[in-house]
């Protein structure tokens, strides 16, 4: 029965002297989680102070400075259990100067208890704590209105605080918010219902904590296994050890190894006590694969059709924890799961005023500051947004000289290209000293002879999505119908017309500009032009659209998950890009802007090329570009 008990991690916070430590001490006392010598020690200390009641807050205020000042400075952890559940309490300081301590304590919490003094109501610090809990995405927040005895157990006082905090919480991302009135000093509504507050009909604090459902908060869908080490006791065994960050896995399931993109299946899940039929977060296990694949510390295993984001430009919220301020541009070490890479804060977007929720411009960060930043790493990371996956959405920054942890971060997603990236040069209206001429034969005449209309079909999507495969198959189908076609492929044009261009943002724009002009020439010649290009920037694609008459340009988004693209990787480009040997690779270290309103969206991971080609032919028929087939 003890093994089957669930674990609830609790963080408590509140303003100075709201009674956090007293409440937690009362909870420990009521659940008989205090040893006799502990109780005797705090009884003597209380007597020396002349207190009539035993000061249960001394159970959590462990530092001498805390007992002297009667405040909480450091994060105090206490463990207790009831017949139904195990608990870990992190008692966090409430003062603004200890924000970093609160972030540390709340980072792994399932539930947060925010104490508010009934005499003082909702203070600035109370709002600040709610904001930090919102940033940290703590799943459940319980606002406990303490010291109701000093407010005469007046329900109007309690309801006023509830309304005030609810109004503030609407500006935050708090998923589950509850309220409760208590008197921690005398135990009202802590473990037993208070006879002095009959107007409160909700559960006691202990009932709330024992019945709080936390399992759905565990991410058991997105399988993420950061490899911590390679187990090689002999030549006949090779396993990969680590802790499952999220999700679950079974033997026989297919996985992808990042960054190589190689696929294999799980051969066995091994532990000291024997093999497991299934493993899930947060278990620590050794996984063996059916194939011999290069895997080392820092790699990650995931499912082929459910991969994390991959990139080295991060959009994140940072809590600065060092006495020395952050100076953007300084290089740090970024530790994310089992991977440690060099990183720098490329941009300080804004700093939060945690008291007012206002955003402030700042040139640097001081101790306890919270800010939104953009980071750039030397190697790609495999991550998820923090709001969906805490384990793969969090990181720390380390000073490479002192080895101190200087900041903790929560990833929001991928950031935009780094500052300083040059915009594509403006396109000239025409080359000087030249004159526009009308086509020798009008396009309409060519279309009449061909028996079909001219059009440009622009296939866009990630590398490996299947653009060229679809373009070639569609061209063959059109050729069999007697259509005049031209296929413009990215690799082919970069071997000749565009061989002088690289893959910077400027060169990509020029590449698409040239392709668009060539496509326009073939279009005016009455051809159906099939263009298969990654073309990651929407602005570049829109420029080509502007060259073709309305209704004749078909943008086709070949929408394929990056995990599938990495698994295909026909030319090994993803593998090289994930190792950092190819820079500015779309989907890895360079962004892709999907079409906002394409003429067609096709999924090559769900449908066969034959079915997609048939659907595209039907679309061309409906548009009147080609005659209907037999």
Q: Distance of CA 567 to CAs 261, 262, 308, 464, Å?
A: 5, 6, 14, 9
Full DSSP string of 298-334 = T-EEEBTTBPPEEEEEEEEEEEE--SSPB-TT-EEEE
Does 224-302 match 311-414 in CATH topology?
yes
Domain 311-414 maps to which CATH number in 3.40.800.20, 2.40.50.140, 2.40.30.10, 3.30.565.10? 2.40.30.10
Dihedral sign (CA 40, 42, 45, 50): negative
Query: How many CB atoms are located within 10 Å of the residue 295 CB?
Result: 21
pLDDT of residue 72: 41
Q: Per DSSP, which regions of 386-489 are E strands?
A: 394-398, 405-414, 455-460, 485-489
pTM of model > 0.75: no
CA–CA dist 143, 14 (Å, integer): 9
CA–CA dist 517, 427 (Å, integer): 12
Domain parsing of the chain, residue ranges: 6-217, 224-302, 311-414, 443-622
Q: Which residues of the chain have pLDDT under 70?
A: 1-4, 52, 59-76, 93-100, 215-218, 355, 416-438, 580-581, 583, 630
pLDDT of residue 337: 93
Query: How many CB atoms are located within 10 Å of the residue 339 CB?
Result: 21
Q: What number does CATH give the domain 443-622? A: 3.40.50.300
pLDDT of residue 373: 92
Crossing angle (nearest 10°) for helices 467-480 and 609-622:
60
pLDDT of residue 76: 66
CA–CA dist 363, 351 (Å, integer): 9
Token pair belonging to 80: 């207790």
Domain 6-217 maps to which CATH number in 3.50.50.60, 3.40.50.2300, 3.40.50.300, 3.40.190.10? 3.40.50.300
Q: Which residue has the tokens 């189908």?
A: 477
Nearest in space to 3 (alpha carbons), one of 107, 97, 86, 94: 86
* CATH H-level superfamily of 224-302: Translation factors (2.40.30.10)
Angle at 580 between CA 507 and CA 375, to 5 degrees: 85
CB-count burial class (<10 Å; 0-12, 13-18, 19+) for 363 = exposed
Evaluate whether 539 touches 583 at the Cβ level (below 8 Å): no
Q: Per DSSP, which regions of 394-484 are E strands?
A: 394-398, 405-414, 455-460
Longest dimension (CA), the chain: 107
Evaluate whether 117 touches 94 at the Cβ level (below 8 Å): no
pLDDT of residue 93: 65
Q: Is the peptide bond before 27 cis (omega within 30 degrees of 0)?
A: no
Query: Which residues carry out catalysis?
Result: 535
Token pair belonging to 328: 């953007």
CA–CA dist 419, 415 (Å, integer): 10
């Amino acid at each position: 029965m003890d093994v089957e008990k669930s674990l609830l991690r609790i963080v408590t916070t509140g303003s100075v002297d709201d009674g956090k430590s007293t409440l937690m001490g009362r909870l420990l006392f009521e659940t008989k989680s205090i040893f006799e010598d502990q109780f005797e020690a705090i009884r003597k200390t209380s007597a020396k102070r002349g207190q009539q009641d035993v000061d249960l807050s001394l159970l959590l205020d462990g530092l001498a400075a805390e007992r002297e000042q009667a405040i909480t400075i450091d994060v105090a952890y206490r463990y207790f259990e009831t017949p139904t559940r195990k608990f870990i309490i992190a008692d966090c300081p409430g003062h603004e100067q200890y924000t970093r301590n609160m972030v540390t304590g709340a980072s792994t919490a399932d539930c947060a208890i925010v104490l508010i003094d009934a005499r003082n109501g909702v203070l600035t610090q109370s709002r600040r704590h709610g904001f930090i809990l919102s940033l940290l995405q703590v799943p459940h927040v319980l606002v406990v209105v303490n010291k109701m005895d000093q407010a005469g157990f007046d329900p109007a006082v309690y309801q006023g605080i509830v309304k005030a905090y609810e109004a503030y919480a609407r500006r935050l991302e708090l998923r589950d918010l509850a309220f409760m009135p208590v008197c921690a000093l005398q135990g009202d509504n802590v473990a037993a219902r208070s006879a002095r507050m009959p107007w409160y009909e909700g559960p006691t604090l202990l009932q709330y904590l024992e019945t709080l459902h936390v399992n759905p908060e565990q991410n058991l869908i997105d399988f993420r296994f950061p490899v911590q080490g390679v187990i090689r006791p002999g030549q006949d065994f090779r396993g990969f050890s680590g802790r499952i960050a999220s999700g679950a896995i079974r033997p026989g399931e297919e996985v992808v190894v990042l960054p190589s993109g190689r696929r294999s299946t799980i051969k066995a899940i091994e532990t000291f006590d024997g093999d497991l039929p299934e493993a899930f977060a947060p278990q620590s296990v050794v996984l063996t694969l059916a194939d011999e694949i290069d895997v080392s510390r820092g790699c990650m295993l995931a499912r082929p059709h459910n991969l994390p984001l991959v990139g080295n430009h991060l959009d994140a919220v940072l809590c600065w924890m060092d006495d020395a301020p952050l100076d953007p541009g300084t290089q740090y070490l970024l530790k994310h799961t089992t991977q440690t890479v060099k990183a720098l804060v490329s941009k300080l977007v804004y700093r939060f005023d945690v008291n007012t929720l206002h955003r402030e411009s700042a040139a640097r960060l001081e101790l306890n500051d919270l800010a939104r930043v953009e980071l750039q790493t030397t190697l790609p990371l495999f991550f998820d947004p923090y709001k969906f996956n805490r384990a793969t959405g969090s990181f720390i920054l380390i000073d490479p000289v002192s080895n101190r942890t200087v900041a903790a971060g929560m990833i929001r997603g991928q950031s935009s290209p780094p500052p300083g990236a040059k915009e594509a040069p403006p396109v000239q209206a025409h080359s000087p000293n030249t004159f526009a001429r009308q086509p020798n034969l009008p396009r309409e005449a060519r279309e009449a002879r061909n028996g079909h209309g001219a059009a440009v079909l622009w296939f866009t999507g990630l590398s490996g999505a299947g653009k060229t495969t679809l373009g070639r198959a569609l061209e063959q189908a059109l050729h069999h119908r007697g259509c005049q076609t031209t296929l413009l492929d990215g690799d082919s044009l970069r071997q000749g017309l565009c061989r002088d261009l690289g893959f910077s943002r400027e060169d990509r724009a020029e590449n698409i500009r040239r392709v668009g002009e060539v496509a326009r020439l073939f279009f005016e010649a009455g051809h159906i032009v099939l263009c298969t290009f990654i073309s990651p920037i929407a602005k570049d694609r829109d420029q080509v659209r502007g060259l073709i008459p309305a209704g004749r340009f078909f943008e086709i988004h070949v929408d394929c998950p990056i995990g599938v693209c990495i698994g295909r990787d026909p030319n090994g480009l993803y593998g090289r890009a994930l190792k950092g040997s190819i820079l500015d690779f779309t989907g890895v270290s360079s962004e892709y802007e999907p079409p906002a309103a394409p003429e067609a969206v096709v999924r090559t991971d769900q449908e066969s090329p034959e079915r997609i080609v048939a659907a595209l032919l039907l679309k061309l028929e409906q548009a009147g570009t080609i005659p209907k087939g037999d």
